[in-house]
Amino acid sequence: MVEREIRHHGICTWQPASACEGCPLSGRLKCRFDWGALLHFIALFFGFAIPAIIGAIQGGYGWYLLGWAAYSLIFFELWEGRILCSHCPYYAEDGRVLHCIANYGLFKVWRFHPEPMSKAEKAQLWVGLSILMGFPFPFLLLGRQFAWALVSLWGAGLFFWTLRRYTCSQCVNFSCPLNTVPQELVDEYLRRNPVMGKAWGKAV
Ligand code: SF4
Ligand code: SF4
């Protein structure tokens, strides 16, 4: 029993599914890994990225996409990994590979940080996301690929709108600035996960 509590920092998201029986949060949070949620996220992101890639190549700026790829790798692995993902219950799983509903398969560079994101980390997230999503647009405009720029912009808007409505409203990374989970559900999850509850300064 003690061994099970220590594994995965005791986070319920990574305990056997039988531990969820009777949990009032079951079905109300995206608190267990789900392939459907992951594929939904990937499809939404591609709806923004693919038009941007096509437009950059057609405009003669395809090689600049290597800079976007390099930035994305650094952002997801190191920067976002530390400021956002290291605070997420999905990051608490034992092992070095992330199995979550968005950044599945990334190498986990950092340790799990059960405390909420700081204000500085939230500000950095906005900066990092702005660079990530804005990177291709100057090249689309320089290449006069206005139609692809519009399609990509529409894809980016759809990505954030859908994400916020269907994922952020149930995501277990509660301190993310996009998160909209009701406070009573957050409190119940923290109550069920004392490592996080303590780090959040909640009585457990
Ligand atoms: S909050 Fe934890 S115990 Fe409850 S359903 Fe989600 S993973 Fe299971
Ligand atoms: S669900 Fe989101 S915040 Fe959590 S580890 Fe995955 S990408 Fe990071």
Which ligand has an atom closest to residue 185 CA?
Answer: 1
- Domain contains 25: no
| Residue 12 belongs to some domain of the structure | no
Tell me how many domains the chain contains: 1
CA-to-CA dists, residue 58 to 132, 150, 186, angstroms: 20, 15, 46
Question: Quick check: is 1 in a domain?
Answer: no
pLDDT tens per residue, range 132-164: 999 999 999 999 999 999 999 999 999 999 999
pLDDT-based confidence at 203, cuts 50/70/90? low
Please give all residues whose beta carbon lies within 6 A of any atom in ligand 2, as ranges.
84-85, 88, 90-91, 98, 100-103, 173
Give me the pLDDT at residue 188, please: 97
Report yes or no on 124 lying in a domain: yes
Maximum C-alpha span of the chain: 62
The bound ligand whose nearest atom lies closest to the alpha carbon of 32 is 1
Task: Examine residue 7 and state whether it is found in any structural domain, yes or no.
Answer: no
Best residue among 15, 31, 93 to mutate for probing ligand 1, ranked by most atoms within 8 Å of CB: 31
What is the C-alpha separation between 162 and 141, in angstroms, rounded? 26
Q: Domain for residue 153, yes or no?
A: yes
Residue of 164, 67, 80 whose CA lies nearest to 121: 80
In a domain, 16, yes or no: no
Asked whether residue 78 is domain-assigned, the answer is: yes
Q: Averaged over 94-113, what is the pLDDT? A: 97
Containing structural domain, residue 193: 30-199
Band of residue 3 on the pLDDT scale cut at 50, 70, 90? very low
In sequence order, the β-bridge partners of residue 171 are 30
